[in-house]
């Protein structure tokens, strides 16, 4: 007799600065995914991100109505985690303390902070549970991983935690192994790059996606401290904001070739453009170097190296990386990222009793 699988409908919410992405899943099957664009003139009416709450919530509900989806069918609402207090990885029930911290911006202001707030509001109205999954503020670093040569400065965990942990879980299932029993290195390659060491399910070390690691299509990555200090005091950059824009948006491929498109750089590479070959090969070289660094963190006991993110579609790039790191462990390609599915997966683990949600305190 075929087992009847109970249908569970999940609404996933992922806001960006000028849009809000939503998806409705029936179990893990997407019923629809929609990116709701917000007109600049509409957003300009609000003084800050928090003031956009009612506007974005109403827009989501109207979109569901236009899609003729009956919201009373929902089993839960799940949201991308925002910049709350640093917490360990997992699925968290959204509560008032989390909402208050996100509205206060305890770890920074970002559009993603509204995700859990909106999810909490919709779920409150419908008397449903609501969750966040592996927010970007996950902090499972060991004291050794946080240590620097200056007591005033500690390394911070800031990486693509949602995709890294989701991909690691999926590949663990393919290996017929328990995620919490494996040691994995996951390299997320996109506009930003995160390279993380997962020891028995926890991200115990990793590169900061904004300020560390390899050069990326638009970020500088790790820089020589002395030269950076000279640049800061050179007078070229008048404000902290100008330097930030340079390091995080106008560096990497952008600085060398005036484009942050990996596809365009790949085309120039194929045409034997010397600068394109240098930065493309250089990125692969640096990714491999940081993967090896994470292997040292795991004392060489690495069950697999997983390469994911949008740039993992580039066979040329992944071949260059694998050539340098395959001596450490097998290299698995898991190209692309699907944050909405990752949110639904986490939510359904809780709804199906496979995982107990954590409490945000």
Kindly report, residue by residue over 197-254, the tens digit of the pLDDT: 999 999 999 999 989 999 999 999 999 999 999 999 999 999 999 999 999 999 999 9
Percentage helix, strand, coil for the chain under 3-state DSSP, each rounded to 5: 40, 20, 40
Looking at the chain, the number of H-run helices and the number of E-run strands are 13, 12
Q: 152: Cβ–Cβ under 8 A, 6 or more apart, which residues?
A: none
CA distances from 78 to 21, 86, 109, 283 (A): 12, 19, 20, 35
- Residue 290 is encoded by which pair of tokens? 């940081």
Residue 18's CB is within 10 A of a number of other CB atoms, namely 12
- pLDDT tens by residue, 280-312: 999 999 999 999 999 999 999 999 999 999 999
Rounded CA-CA distance 343/166 in Å is: 9
- H or E segment and range at residue 80: strand 74-80
Can you tell me the distance from the alpha carbon of 359 to that of 361, in angstroms, rounded to the nearest whole number? 6
Q: For residues 94, 189, 32 and 340, what is the CA-based torsion angle, rounded to 10 degrees?
A: -10
Looking at 6-138, list the stretches that DSSP marks H as alpha helix, in order from N- to C-terminal side.
40-43, 53-66, 96-104, 113-126
In terms of CATH architecture, what is 161-336? Answer: 2-Layer Sandwich (3.30)
- In this structure, are residues 217 and 251 in contact, taking their beta carbons and an 8 Å threshold? no
- pLDDT tens digits, residue range 51-72? 999 999 999 999 999 999 999 9
For tokens 């952008």, the residue is 254
Q: What average pLDDT score do residues 165-188 get?
A: 97
Confidence of residue 2 (pLDDT cuts 50, 70, 90): low
| Mean pLDDT across the chain | 95
Same topology between domain 9-140+340-359 and domain 161-336: yes
The predicted structure's pLDDT at residue 6 = 86
Lookup: tokens for 35: 């990116």
Q: What architecture is domain 9-140+340-359?
A: 2-Layer Sandwich (3.30)
Calpha distance 37→17 (Å, rounded): 10
Q: Domains of the chain: which residue ranges?
A: 9-140+340-359, 161-336
Say whether pTM exceeds 0.85: yes
Residue 136 has pLDDT above 90, yes or no: no
Q: Is the pLDDT of residue 17 over 90?
A: no
Identify the three-state secondary structure at position 14.
strand
pLDDT exceeds cutoff 90 at 40: no
d(CA 215, CA 285) in angstroms, rounded, equals 10
Q: Is the pLDDT of residue 168 over 80?
A: yes
């Amino acid at each position: 007799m075929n087992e009847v699988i109970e249908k569970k409908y999940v609404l996933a919410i992922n806001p960006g600065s000028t849009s809000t992405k939503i998806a409705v899943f029936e179990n893990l099957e997407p019923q629809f995914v929609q990116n709701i664009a917000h007109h600049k003139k509409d957003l300009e009416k609000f003084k800050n991100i928090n003031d956009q709450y009612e506007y974005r919530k109403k827009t989501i509900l109207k979109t569901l109505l236009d899609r003729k989806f009956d919201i009373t069918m929902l089993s839960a609402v799940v949201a991308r985690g925002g910049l709350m207090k640093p917490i360990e990885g997992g699925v968290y029930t959204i509560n008032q303390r989390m909402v208050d911290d996100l509205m206060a911006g305890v770890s920074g202001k970002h559009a993603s902070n509204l995700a859990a707030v909106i999810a909490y509001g919709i779920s409150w109205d419908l008397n449903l549970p609501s969750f966040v999954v592996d927010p970007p503020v996950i902090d499972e670093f060991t004291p050794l991983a946080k240590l620097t040569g200056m007591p005033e400065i500690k390394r911070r965990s800031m990486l693509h935690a949602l995709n890294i942990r989701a991909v690691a879980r999926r590949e663990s299932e393919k290996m017929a192994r328990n995620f919490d029993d494996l040691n994995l290195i996951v390299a997320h390659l996109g506009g930003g790059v995160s390279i993380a060491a997962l020891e028995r399910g926890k991200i115990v070390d990793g590169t900061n996606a904004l300020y560390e690691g390899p050069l990326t299509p638009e970020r500088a990555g790790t820089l020589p401290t002395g030269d950076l200090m000279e640049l800061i005091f050179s007078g070229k950059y008048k404000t902290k904001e100008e330097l930030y824009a340079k390091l995080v948006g106008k560096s990497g491929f952008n600085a060398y070739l005036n484009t942050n498109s990996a596809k365009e750089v790949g085309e120039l590479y194929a045409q034997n453009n010397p600068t394109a070959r240098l930065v493309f090969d250089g990125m692969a070289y640096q990714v491999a170097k940081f993967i090896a660094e994470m292997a040292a963190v795991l004392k060489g006991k690495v069950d697999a190296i997983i390469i994911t993110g949008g740039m993992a579609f580039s066979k040329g790039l992944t071949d260059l990386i694998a050539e340098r790191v395959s001596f450490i462990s097998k290299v698995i390609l898991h190209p692309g990222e699907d944050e909405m599915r990752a949110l639904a997966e986490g939510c359904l683990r809780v709804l199906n009793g496979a995982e107990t949600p954590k409490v945000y305190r």
